Structure 1
Amino acid sequence: MRLSIVSSLFAGAALAAAAPVAAQSFTAAESAQVDTLVGEALAATGVPSASVTVVRGGKIAFAKAYGKQSETIATADIKTKYQIASVSKQFTAAAILLLRDEGKLSLDDTIAKYLPGITGGDRITIRQLLAHTSGLQDYWPQDFSFAAMATPTSPQGIVDRWARKPLDFEPGSQWQYSNTGYVVAGLIVEKLSGMELVPFLKNRLLDPLGIDAIDQDLATGKGYPQGYTRAALGPVKVETPPASGWLYAAGELSMSTPDLAKWDIARIERKGLPAKDWAEQEQAVKLTDGASTHYGLGVTLAEVKKRATVEHGGEAVGFLTTNRVFVEDKAAIVVAVNAWFGDAQSRIADGIGDILFPDRKTASTGLDETARTAMARKVYDQLREGMLDRAMLTEDANYYYTAGVQADYRDSLGSLGEPTAFATRGAPRLRGGFVVRGYVVSYGERKLNISTMSELGQDGRFEQFLVTPGS
């Protein structure tokens, strides 16, 4: 559906939402603030639905679902299981820690001890897998489904294609996000436990905490949310799920936001795992030169105005999740949406953070990369005009830009006229053998975000060029 229709759906009392669950300490005014915040975020981005759970004082204080979860779910239900994708990495890491506690491995063991044939396996440690410092190339850095994802795969299939490539860097010397590393970690869990990964997680971690979760590959069909996609500002459409096997230990779980909040509460209370394991997961791993990665074992470590956060985002095909825990403040924010465009989940999480901590401020940074910015602007103008130079795109990017996607970009962007500004957003970083850059396009007060990935080098082709509504 187009943005104008979505806007009307979320206006006033017409907002479709389930009744709050376990609301213990949010006031009526605070709950109304969340309702407004979510409604505005969904309307502005076109994202169909959101599931929100907030922990305050170590207990669930607010839980509510909003909007359209699928073409067949009539009313948003807080119990609906969203695909949490990479938020699952902390569960995979916890499984490794449990096996370590049982004496079945050491985090400083090399992976060659358990799995043969992986590039650098005699130098890469299990700790480096979990901390994204292994040097193994990421098999899915894109924010779209590349061609191979239409065909089922297996963990071994991912290892054979990506974990036998040359390393991106010497293990321990850099930090670079790698889903491939977590696939290898999952295979180690299965080999040493004698169980498949998800059943092991359910038996040892999830069921004891009362968390109802399933393999994300099974979270499709009746009763489950559908993922949605959008090309630039074009119509919102149901997304085609990937074939099975593509997330595995890098993003294996689907659960409701209250169930994910139970995990956050366990983290706050140091339950479900030995306290030392929680602490070790939350300790930033250092590079060989002593620099901090600001990443632990499956979690990102940050600080907002002297408030430490343990957090992670998740992206599945058609789904985005933000999970943010303020351990010392006994608070957590869980937001899941059934779209992988826009920034609704971040807007909602940031806004709830302002409700929990009114003095919280978010810093922003800028960057000037004149030549690359000019190249990005050139591609953006081509998309507005419907005349895309495919020589500037990689094979995967050309696969993404079908005739229909190009038409949506042309029709939705061309009508906006000439941008008033085109600027960088954040600093470039490496991932999956590509350079990730962001841009903001302005049309007066209206903002659009651009997410790009490009090959290394000044003239590197674009692997990804996605436009989404901005804030």
Structure 2
Amino acid sequence: MRSLFLAALLAAVPTAVIAQDLTPAESQRIDTIVTEALAKSGVPSASIAVVRGGRIVLAKAYGKASETIPVATPALPYQVASNSKQFTAAAILLLEDEGKLSLDDHVSKYLPGISGGDQITIRQLLSHTSGLQDYWPHDYSFVAMSKPVRPKGIIDRWAKKPLDFAPGTQWQYSNTGYVVAGQIVEKVAKRSLFDFLKSRIFTPLGMTSVVDQDKAIGPAYPQGYKRFALGPVRPDTPAAPGWLYAAGELSMSATDLAKWNIARMNRSLLPADDWAVQETPVKLTDGKDTGYGLGVSVRQFAGKPMIEHSGESVGFLSENMVFPDQKTSVTVLTNSWFSDAFVQMAQGIARTALPAPAGDPADAAYLTKAQTVFDQLASGALDRKLLTDNANYYFDTTALADYKSSLGALGKPVRIVQTGTSQARGGFVARRYRVEYGDRALSISTFSEPGADGRFEQFLVAPTQ
């Protein structure tokens, strides 16, 4: 374990291809987020891409891609697994644009013998509301995955079982539904799903790294890694060919997935209404919002609308976060499936890359003032002229001692940023800040007098995630 762990750390020197529009501090913060996540988790490598202002501003790879590729590079295609689902859904939408099918067609129109096929619509396949039982709910490769399979084999074994629920009545993730959808694409388009996607999406967008994951195996490609509990990090054995198909068959670089994210932001390549349909959460028959569209989750992060999906295949995990309103996206691809480091990296990078919210013109002055007071509390030398009578009353001898001992022990923070927008509250202006260290974060809740020269009525520091 020690030798593998040290090798990962030594290989974690970043390789950059594009670095624009990020300040040196932001770039350093992203490097810190990724390298520390790799070091703490033992994940061998990560490949990331950041879009800001509608264009790629950063693409970097860190760590060891495989036993034969000791230093990862941004051009390497990692398995993106279920991030492939949005592409399968896009293929259906393109065929609908051509009048060759409808999202509300029943599955039985194209494929006979599917359980509930005369009730399940294509839309329900893509939104995980079909009731078809998921053939791979596991977070490991089960015994059948050691042997090759064709889509028909998956369909015959899982899509002809009794439904888990009546179509449209529940949401339950189902890779099986996407295998069925992929077969519908191939029957209607009269070509393989991958070839259809290549001609209609990958080539037009210049996504040159994309390959079928069954072919992205060997010494020229990233290796997936596993770990049993806290044991050594070991190379994993890929699933036999055919198992991910339309549910997760793609491998690509983080940069190429970012190109797709840009098309989403710009409403290009696909008609705008196709993007809108994909990003509209499907509702159940009882009216409940599923929070899932067609191949993508629809949710919020840091108070901002987000289109998101993650992916998991044998030895690989990925996270793709798109913020259309901010023209920002974060893509993180890793070659392990034993840690949530990929999510922690993506969320940390997103907090760094997202534009600061528009707020009170005095926000900049109060950020500087908040940094000053925080540093003073950590050192125990508080300038009480920056505080109101009530705040001075709060910071009695005990409070000052506790602030000094607990904050001073943490050292200098990496950065302090405002979170959210300023708001009026009780005759004061409320602002919140996030204090980031290498391995933890704190929150600051402040009330201040109106105007750029106002004093703090409240300055409370607390732990946060």
Contact 1:18 1:78 in 2 (8 A): no
1:15 shift after superposition: 4.8
Q: 1:337-364: CA deviations, max 9, x gaps?
A: 000111111010011122124879xxxx
C-alpha contact 2:78 2:252 (8 A) present in aligned 1: yes
- Give the AA of the match of 1:279: A
TM-score, reference length from structure 2: 0.75
Q: Structure 1, residues 11-62: CA drift from partner, whole Å, max 9, x if none?
A: 5xx4534532222211222111111111111111111000011000001111
Q: Does residue 72 in structure 1 map to residue 68 in structure 2?
A: yes
* Aligned mate of 1:337, from 334, 337, 345: 334
Deviation at 1:314, TM superposition (A): 0.3
* Deviation sequence 1:155-214 (CA, Å, 0-9, x none): 000000000001000000000000000000000000000000101100111100001211
Of 111, 118, 122, the match for 1:126: 122
- Consecutive unaligned residues of structure 1, counting only runs of 5 or more, are 361-444, 447-470
Match of 2:350 in 1: 353
* Map of 1:105 onto structure 2: 101
Q: 1:116 aligns with which of 85, 101, 112?
A: 112
2:20 equivalent in structure 1: 24
Query: What is the match of residue 287 of structure 2?
Result: 290
Task: Structure 2: give runs of 5+ residues left out of the alignment.
Answer: 358-438, 441-464
- Separation in 2, partners of 1:57, 1:178: 34
- Once the two structures are superposed, residues 388-424 of structure 1 have per-residue CA deviations (whole angstroms, 9 ceiling, x without a partner) of xxxxxxxxxxxxxxxxxxxxxxxxxxxxxxxxxxxxx
Q: How far apart are the structure 2 equivalents of 1:340 and 1:49?
A: 12
- The residue correspondences of 1:272-311 to structure 2 (distance < 5 A) are 272-311=269-308
SS in 2 for 1:184: helix
- Give the Cα separation in 1 of the matches to 2:320 and 2:150: 27
Residue in 2 that maps onto 1:264: 261
- Whether 1:157 aligns to 2:153 is yes
- Measure, in 2, the Cα distance between the counterparts of 1:344 and 1:56: 22
Matched AA of 1:293: T
The question of whether the paired residues in 2 share the 8 Å contact of 1:7 and 1:44 is answered with no
C-alpha spacing 1:263/1:312, structure 2 compared with 1 (3 Å): same
Over the aligned positions, Cα root-mean-square deviation in angstroms equals 1.7
| Post-superposition offset of 1:76 | 1.5
Tell whether the 8 Å contact from 1:228 to 1:319 is kept in structure 2 after alignment: yes
Q: Give the counterpart letter for 2:283 in structure 1.
A: K
Partner of 2:321: 324
Supply the distance in 2 between the matched residues of 1:354 and 1:76 (Cα, whole angstroms): 24
Q: For this pair of structures, how many residues does the alignment match?
A: 359
The letter of the residue matching 2:28 is A
2:164 corresponds in structure 1 to 168
Match of 1:214 among 204, 207, 211: 211
8 Å Cα contact 2:81/2:312 also seen in 1: yes
In structure 1, distance between residues paired with 2:11 and 2:348: 18
Residue type of the alignment partner of 1:308: P
Contact 1:17 1:64 in 2 (8 A): no
Quick check: 1:10–1:39 contact (8 Å CA) kept in 2?
Answer: no
Q: Secondary structure at the match of 2:67?
A: coil
In 1, Cα distance between equivalents of 2:53 and 2:291? 26
Cα distance, 1:222 vs structure 2: 2.0
Give, as a single letter, the amino acid of the residue that structure 2 aligns with 1:140: W
8 Å contact kept, 2:11–2:70: no
**In the alignment, does 2:48 pair up with 1:58?**
no
2:33 to 32, 37, 40: 37
